[in-house]
A and B are shown apart, each in its own frame.
Chain A
Amino acid sequence: MRIKVNGEPRSVADGATVADVLTALGLPSTGVAVAVDGEVVRRADWSVSELDDGAAVEVLTAVQGG
């Protein structure tokens, strides 16, 4: 299925979870947070939260600023 991660289109297996996407993209798992379709997905739910086709996934971390 097709999803978007931080605005970029990606193909992932049907039933992929948030944790699967982070692993596949080589993203760090600490110091980051994930939102799917505008809702925060708690870290504890990453491995059980299955994505729907067309999901918009945002992965954020802290950077220098302010």
Chain B
Amino acid sequence: MSMEKPADDALVIGSLKIGSRLIMGTGGAANLAVLERALVASETELTTVAMRRVDAATGTGVLDLLRRLGIEILPNTAGCRTAAEAVLTARLAREALETDLVKLEVIADERTLLPDPIELLDAAEQLVADGFTVLPYTNDDPVLARKLEQAGCAAVMPLGSPIGTGLGIRNPHNIAMIVEAAGVPVVLDAGIGTASEAAQAMELGCDAVLLATAVTRAADPERMAHAMRLGVQAGRAARGAGRIPKRYWAQASSPDLPE
């Protein structure tokens, strides 16, 4: 058996089954060539896109890229402020991209980009009823995570810290509580700044990590994508291995000297 990764350690979200536990976003990359190198280095199998108004000059470059790389597309509802906007955007994404997957984002304000929990739950209920596989971007709130799962979401995706801040996981205890209670996959989404934080998310028991800015705006996106892949794998392996309990006093790791 390989010590790298158990043979069947697939991430299963609804009817989707993928081998990588690093989900990538495509926002923030300087251009498609940089994005392509980063996505390849990350070994991701699921990647987000946003939905925006098209004009004659807008290409379908990012879609072409993801399809060429064989990466599953996860449309988001970024920019939506109400349940109604998010539901319409999800339906448009399903029509344009022929997927039932949606990363549901309903943002309260531009300054924090924090989820609006009331609108989020409302949108989640509507989209589940409409047959979507809903992956909600949510606050690090165990109660809200439970309600989203009860609403039929296929995963819950709590933030580590606000989008794009790179502040890491501000409330690890809340993430651990969400993991403890969840019956669906937990994806740490937003706030990751570097590989140790991706590893921490996995050590806390998250099933996957979703990040974009930390890679696409790194000085070297390709190398950071590689680092994030290793961080996720290391954290996953450590979680499975079972860490030692923390102690107050030292405990010698070498035999005592004879008296």
CB <8 Å contact, B56 and A63: no
CB of A13 closer than 8 Å to a CB of B = no
- 1/0 per residue B71-82: CB within 8 Å of A? 001111010000
For B23, give the chain A residue with the smallest CB separation: A66
Q: By the criterion CB–CB under 8 Å, are A38 and B54 in contact?
A: no
Contact check, A66 vs B92: say whether CB atoms are below 8 A apart: no
Contact size class for A? Answer: 20 to 34
A6 adjacent to B53 (CB under 8 Å): yes
Is B48 interfacial (CB-CB < 8 Å)?
yes
Total contacts A-B at CB 8 Å? 102
A interface footprint on B89-100 (CB within 8 Å = 1, 0 otherwise): 101111111000
Q: In the complex, which residues 14-55 of chain A have their Cβ closer than 8 Å to any Cβ of chain B? A: 25-28, 30-35, 38, 40, 42-43
The answer to whether B62 and A63 have CB atoms under 8 Å apart is yes
**A33 touching B95, Cβ below 8 Å:** yes
Task: Write the nearest CB–CB distance from B77 to chain A, whole angstroms.
Answer: 9
Tell me whether B60 and A61 are in contact (CB under 8 A).
Answer: yes
Asked whether A63 and B58 contact (CB < 8 A) given A6-B53, A33-B96, A35-B88, the answer is yes
Residues of A contacting B91 with CB < 8 Å? Answer: 33, 35, 40
Determine, out of B25-33, B143-151, B244-252, the stretch whose residues face the partner at the interface: B25-33
Q: 6 other contacts beyond A32-B54, A61-B63, A64-B29, with CB at 8 A cut-off?
A: A6-B55, A40-B88, A59-B54, A61-B58, A62-B75, A64-B28
